[in-house]
A = this chain, B = another copy of it.
């Protein structure tokens, strides 16, 4: 266990030694010359030897001051460099991001190659989990969350607006029991999310009644649900972000136009204090661009 001298005294000493003037040192540190005088006096008392010769219109370093200065400078340089390194940690190395598994599988992972092409030095590490990360307890740099963008202490950037609409495979729509109107849903298997609320909400928005909502399997993961729909196992209410890719590829179609808007959305979040770290800023910029392209 090392015994350190008074650190703020050393800072005052270093500035005064550099300027050979208490007044200029005070200017640099945004305090009054009296404060510098106090600090240096205390440091001298602690070290047991004068560090400055006080002449009338100038101060000079004593031998002891001369001896102290290089080491102090050196020490401060290293502290500043270490802090600097951490503060704007170079835009390289690991970037830990927590993502909802459904969005990861359906939206983010397919785009990762593009991110890597753009930022080959950033080693993006995705953790796909339903848990809401606590940045103060877990070592994550950022997360993609679904919600209203009202998380205190976090910087939240809207990525993808959300909306729901029914989707099914083309073969289902054009098959022996075609889907032309919502009433046709009676003849089809309804696939649900784990809350089994999606169909009820959409049917209410569409103004349709008399459909039995108790039928059909449910999936605890949005990605699995989409997979089931693509496989032609039924009709589901899809989240735009999760089905956009399959719609574009023609593996899914929208049998009806009615859309259920929701006030929740996907947000990129990170601790407010860390928002401008280069790696995080780079990831955010890329993500926002991808999302804009996706929605536009």
Contacts and interface: CB of A to CB of B under 8 A. Distances in A.
Interface stretch (A2-10, A104-112, A205-213): A2-10
Specify how many copies of this chain sit in the oligomer. Answer: 2
A38 B276 CA distance: 23
Interface string A10-53: 11000000000000000010000000000000001101111101
Contact of A136 (B54, B96, B135): B54
Interface string A54-88: 11000010111001101110111111111101110
Given A136-B54, A273-B45, A78 B71 contact: yes
Contacts of A257: none
A201 interface: no
A255 interface: no
A12 to B, nearest CB: 11
Contacts of A76: 2, 4, 75, 79
A164 to B, nearest CB: 36
A78 B80 contact: no
A83 B138 contact: no
Contact of A75 (B47, B79, B273): B79
Nearest to A62: B139
Interface in A133-156: 135-139
A159 B195 CA distance: 95
Contact of A79 (B64, B71, B137): B71
A249 interface: no
A23 to B, nearest CB: 15
Q: Which of A63, A135, A271 has the most CB of B within 10 A?
A: A63
Contacts of A85: 67-68, 71
A69 to B, nearest CB: 8
Interface of A: 1-5, 7-8, 10-11, 28, 44-45, 47-51, 53-55, 60, 62-64, 67-68, 70-72, 74-83, 85-87, 89, 93-94, 96, 135-139, 271, 273-274, 276-277
30 contacts: A1-B28, A2-B77, A3-B80, A4-B80, A5-B83, A7-B79, A10-B79, A10-B83, A47-B83, A47-B86, A48-B87, A48-B276, A49-B86, A49-B89, A49-B273, A50-B135, A50-B139, A53-B139, A55-B137, A62-B139, A63-B139, A64-B86, A67-B89, A68-B83, A68-B85, A71-B81, A71-B83, A75-B75, A75-B79, A75-B82
Among all A-B residue pairs, the 3 with the closest Cβ atoms: A71-B82, A75-B79, A75-B78
